[in-house]
Amino acid sequence: MEERGQESEAPPRWLPFVVLGIGLLAISFGAILARLAQGYGLPSLTIATLRLGLAALIITPIALWQSGHVLRALSRRQGLLTCGAGFFLALHFATWITSLEYTSVASSTALVTTNLLWVGIASFLLFGEKPSAVMVLGIVISLSGSLLIFWSDSQSSVAGSDPLLGNFLAIVGSWCFSAYLLIGRRLRANLPLPAYVWLAYGSASLFLLVACQLSGSPLGGHTGAAYLIALGMALGPQLLGHTAYNWSLKHVSATFIAVVTLGEPVGSAALAWIFFAEAFALVQGIGFVLLLFGIYLAARGEGR
């Protein structure tokens, strides 16, 4: 059992890597479900609000049951940090999901997962964390794969109505997710997973709810199919995918988690090809291989 927000035993060394793999698979469906929801007329802000709001509602009983005493004893500093994490998480989803309106799934996911670069730089400058040589090599190879995917996609006709805007929004989403990971790592050191997830998702959904009200993005009046897709996003990419990342924050570095997220363009691009006929070129395929190889090297470096 957990006491005062601490997990009692360290998990087996291999478990965080398995959990991250499952989380990556679930998150790869995020862009596909978001694009489907947009096709049913859901505004991007509404999609982000429903995804996080439904996830927070679903996990509320678990958070109160397992971590109620921790939530009642939450310090002011923890509350402020949680609001900060929720704010950046809200911005991440608002900008990234909106980017899918303007550019392709491959470019959007490749750029939004460049948080590896920003997390690595911030971890070194702010916390003095020096990644191993093997992890640095994995970072370089993974980023090279991301750049190949983006360059190949920019040369094709798959991109949406305004690729430059979409790509910029995806990069902003990457910056915001990097800040979310770094804040979350500090919070997870003293908060159990249910408490942290509930606070982060709940506060993010409140920020997005305000944004919906200010922008006039309606939460009601949509089709049942649209709401089912939003529920699927809450259960799959959010609760299963992002919660797997949040659980792992206590057991592996934020830099390594950022490396793992680079696998998302591979899964998302493959699913986009199946659902939306967004074919990818040979150069993109090479980029996918580099991404996976870079993740493997980073895993070796993290293990050491």
The model's pLDDT over 208-250, given as tens digits with 9 standing for 90+, comes to: 999 999 999 999 999 999 999 999 999 999 899 978 887 887 7
Residue 302 pLDDT grade (very low, low, confident, very high; cuts 50, 70, 90) = low
CA-based radius of gyration for the chain = 18
Q: Which residues contact 208 (CB under 8 A, 6 or more apart)?
A: 45, 48, 49, 52, 53, 90, 93, 94
The model's pLDDT over 93-124, given as tens digits with 9 standing for 90+, comes to: 999 999 999 888 888 888 888 777 777 777 77
The model's pLDDT over 58-70, given as tens digits with 9 standing for 90+, comes to: 999 999 998 888 8
Looking at residue 281, its amino acid is A
Question: Beta partners for 6?
Answer: 3
Q: Which of 52, 193, 30, 42 is nearest to 113 (CA)?
A: 30
* pTM check: above 0.85: no
Give the C-alpha separation, 95 to 42, whole Å.
Answer: 15
Task: Encode 205-235: b = buried (16+ Cβ within 10 Å), e = exposed.
Answer: bbbbbebbeeeebebeebeeebbebbbbbbb
Judge whether 209 and 48 are in contact, CB under 8 Å.
no
The model's pLDDT over 252-278, given as tens digits with 9 standing for 90+, comes to: 877 777 778 778 888 888 888 888 877
pLDDT of residue 2: 44
